[in-house]
Structure 1
Amino acid sequence: MRIDTTPRPGGARWARVAGTLLAATALAFGGGTVATSAHAAPLPAEPTAQDNPYERGPDPTEDSIEAVRGHFDVDEDNVSSLVSGFGGGTIYYPTDTSEGTFGAVAVSPGYTASESSMSWLGPRLASQGFVVFTIDTNTRYDQPNSRGRQLENALEYLVDDSSVSDRIDPDRLALMGHSMGGGGTLAAAEDDPSLQAAIPLTGWHTQKTFDLEVPTLVVGAEDDSVARVATHSIPFYENMPGGLDKAYLELDGASHFAPNFSNTTIAKYSISWLKRFVDDDLRYDRFLCPGPGFDLDISDYRSTCPYN
């Protein structure tokens, strides 16, 4: 298995963290003060798990993020295909509201597939503390960019019109999708930089370069003969901006259709990515950075790994 955690210059968010750490180090070892510009106010540190208002659920463990169900009980709501902008679907949501609102994730199926092909992700992610919307597309033959627009419409519906809109934080939204739905995820993330996370699963798109600002986990499959990693997932990852928070995970010996079935590796790293970037939950850093050690289920892992 290849592990690539090439360091990179961080964005503004990580620059603030670096500045805070530098100041703390100088004070600790030099005993003096750190000079800043005459008018610069101290910059806030990255939130810790203790003061993060978006943290949901107990401290994570390997067992908890690999489990078929997480901490929260889940209910579901069916959305009619008559809804405007996409083809309807199923919303999965935590029943407990005592911890506050949740981030939300819309999930698109691939070419010719229905939302049932991604339904296993609904309760699995929702039970970890997210509202999850597995959608049908307007037609089963919609191309990636159309699927991306439909994913954006699904998020808008969740926030504005769904029966669970009061459970959703509209500032913490993410997208996932399989195959052409994965390509649509990338297209939508390029279109809407306010999203908090994107996860294309064995994504397919004729476009290979996306100018993204959204933290993105690319999941490829080693034996994918439909969207070969050499011409899809790896170029998607490698062509993303150098300052982006991104990772590439390759499923060992898996086919293009691996995301259509319950998959612990996909779930584990998707949960961790969503927790880290939708919920700003630093407790999940250790599952992503520096990444997995020896793992028979993963043939390649690359990451900009800015979380240390």
Structure 2
Amino acid sequence: MNIHPLKFLITLIPIALLAGCGGGSDCYYNMDSYGSVSSARVFYPCGMENSSELHHVTTLSGGLSNTKENMYWLAGHLVENNDMVVFAISASSNTSVGNYERAHKSAVEMIESERNNPASPLYLRLDKLALMGYSMGGGAVLNAAHDLGSEVDAVVAMAPWEPSVFLGDVTADTLAIVGENDIVASPAYAEGAYGNLPDGINKAFMKLDNFGHLQWVGNTGSSTNTVAAKQMISAWVDYNLNGSGSALNSLLNPPSAVKVNENNL
């Protein structure tokens, strides 16, 4: 397990009664508020509690005015295609990068608590940790990765809004991905983040053809650019957390909807 033990005692966080299946291979349960997280839905591969297999885990958030529901499309995709556990979160305050940064850090504490909770289907079954966020949440995961250091193994920042320029000591392998038509979170933010990351990690900056800011919210479409976004995020996880050679090939030879692909892989 690459999530380092917390330096203080975390009490077990109560799980809400609602649980179910997402219609495919993903099951879920809801969690109450904790720290800077107002609510969370935990997506996981159905039946993992009956297996000793370890699963990678990620936080996931939207951005300004968003809630966890806006990112369920990606949570389900990651469970079904990457066999991941996903903590989709709503921030207690969703109006700034700083608030989202605190929410992701709270979610990391929630993950550690569930890993050590004998009543949780995740008990002792979590492996490497990723952080994923969109817009303000995208800037937040970059900043959180800077603060959390080696606790974090991979980062996906989607259309990141105003991340810190102080990213030179980030140790997590990081993908910054944005749409070329984004007039809210300019592609310059993502490219600037890529440039500020150290050369000693796997990192990439990708720009999607004909893709705007709001296409990341509830992205359930089947257009070539929305499919490419999901493919590249899945490949990033698979390569950097599992060492998949085929995923590396996908990242180095992305679909045509990826118009810019700068990387250090």
What TM-score comes out, normalization by structure 1 length? 0.69
Aligned pairs for 1:183-202 within 5 A: 183-194=139-150, 195-202=152-159
Q: Could you tell me which of 229, 240, 263 is aligned with 1:266? A: 229
Q: Which residue of 2 aligns with 1:275?
A: 238
- Does residue 83 (structure 1) correspond to residue 34 (structure 2)? The answer is yes
Q: How many residues were matched structurally?
A: 228
Change (3 A) 1:223 1:209: farther
Does the aligned pair in 2 maintain the 1:179–1:204 contact within 8 Å?
yes
The C-alpha deviation readout for 1:195-244, integer Å capped at 9, x for no partner, is 110000000016334121110011011011111112x1111112211222
d(CA) in 1 for partners of 2:130, 2:25: 21
Note the residue ranges of structure 1 that are not aligned, 5 or more in a row: 1-68
Q: Which residue of 1 aligns with 2:202?
A: 245
Larger radius of gyration: 1
Q: Once superposed, what is the RMSD of the aligned Cα atoms? A: 2.0
> Shift of residue 159 of structure 1?
2.4
> Shift of residue 110 of structure 1?
0.3
The code of the aligned residue for 1:200 comes to: A
What TM-score comes out, normalization by structure 2 length? 0.80
Note the residue ranges of structure 2 that are not aligned, 5 or more in a row: 1-21, 221-225
d(CA) in 1 for partners of 2:56, 2:102: 19
d(CA) in 1 for partners of 2:64, 2:179: 17
Q: Which has the higher strand share?
A: 2
Q: Which residue of 1 aligns with 2:12?
A: none
- Does residue 291 (structure 1) correspond to residue 253 (structure 2)? The answer is yes
Does the aligned pair in 1 maintain the 2:93–2:100 contact within 8 Å?
no
User: Which of structures 1 and 2 has the larger relative contact order (alpha carbons within 8 angstroms, sep 6+)?
Assistant: 1
Does the aligned pair in 2 maintain the 1:100–1:167 contact within 8 Å?
no
The code of the aligned residue for 2:262 comes to: R
The code of the aligned residue for 1:196 comes to: D
Aligned pairs for 1:129-208 within 5 A: 129-141=83-95, 143-161=96-114, 163-166=120-123, 168-170=125-127, 172-194=128-150, 195-205=152-162, 207-208=164-165
Change (3 A) 1:118 1:84: same
Q: Which residue of 1 aligns with 2:18?
A: none
The code of the aligned residue for 2:158 comes to: L
- State the identity %: 24
